[in-house]
Structure 1
């Protein structure tokens, strides 16, 4: 398995990321997803890592540095997906480890992950990696 940071995006890579995202129920349209990837990849305070086996993407992680008025600087893992056919092979763990190194290289010593309350298996996964739950919250949204 090889983990690398995306430095550019092809339509094929975007399609693989889209396919993996759908496994977790994230319904995206290809065009907008491709445009978001094109916008995110050049940002220095964001990173998208992909895990590949035999040239095929089997996992991805998106993280970003968060600068907030009320909190010390932290990195947030905003997305992590591992192909359901290869889960349990430490791919997610290696993606998290890669994000830890990236965070430290950017001078950040805190990583946060938000996780839907219904994803109890994910909660166990993160706790097994040393994360602790320090807050539960509701997310409010309005369409404009």
Structure 2
């Protein structure tokens, strides 16, 4: 990737990859809904505004025409006391109509490029057990299953 931080404009065989922009919020919300996380555009716009100014939370999008998004990957640089630093894929969606074109793999490669550029030696991703189709995808991308866990949530 050409940008100093390791994630810039790049071309895969299927799409152009670029950093997300504020005007992508509606398209990001549309893609997120396909994954089962429907949110209104205003909520996405607000969160995206905060992520775009964070050096530790890049969002990379794939597009054919610079307007309609075919997918996105959201990353987080994490420092954990007990295990050190890693980059985590916290969101990855490819549009239903654009799957099987290599877009997901191109987004993961962009994430790997960014991790290398910032000197982080490990990546991880969490995948819900009900998303059985995503497990072979991540294994094909070189990820190894590390553990199975329960996730607990408490609303405040």
Paired with 2:58 and 2:41, the residues of 1 have a C-alpha distance of 20
Which stretches in structure 1 are left out of the alignment for 5+ residues?
A: none
Deviation at 1:60, TM superposition (A): 0.3
**Of 112, 117, 120, which residue of structure 1 is paired with 2:124?**
112
RMSD, aligned α-carbons: 0.9
TM-score normalised per structure 2: 0.88
Deviation at 1:29, TM superposition (A): 2.2
Paired with 2:153 and 2:38, the residues of 1 have a C-alpha distance of 17
Give the secondary structure class of the aligned counterpart of 2:133: helix
Check if 1:101 corresponds to 2:124: no
TM-score normalised per structure 1: 0.95
Post-superposition CA distance 1:76-125 (Å, at most 9, x none): 00000000101000000000000000011111010000010010110010
Paired with 2:109 and 2:132, the residues of 1 have a C-alpha distance of 21
Question: What are the equivalent positions in structure 2 for 1:1-144 lying under 5 Å apart?
Answer: 1-6=15-20, 8-10=21-23, 13-55=24-66, 56-144=68-156
**Equivalent residues of 2:18, 2:60 under 8 A apart:** yes
Give the secondary structure class of the aligned counterpart of 2:25: helix
Post-superposition CA distance 1:51-87 (Å, at most 9, x none): 0012221000000110011112100000000001010
Name whichever of 20-29 and 114-123 sits farther off. Answer: 20-29
Which stretches in structure 2 are left out of the alignment for 5+ residues?
A: 1-14
Give the secondary structure class of the aligned counterpart of 1:85: helix
**Equivalent residues of 2:22, 2:48 under 8 A apart:** yes
Structure 1 runs of 4+ aligned residues shifted over 4 Å read none
Aligned length: 141
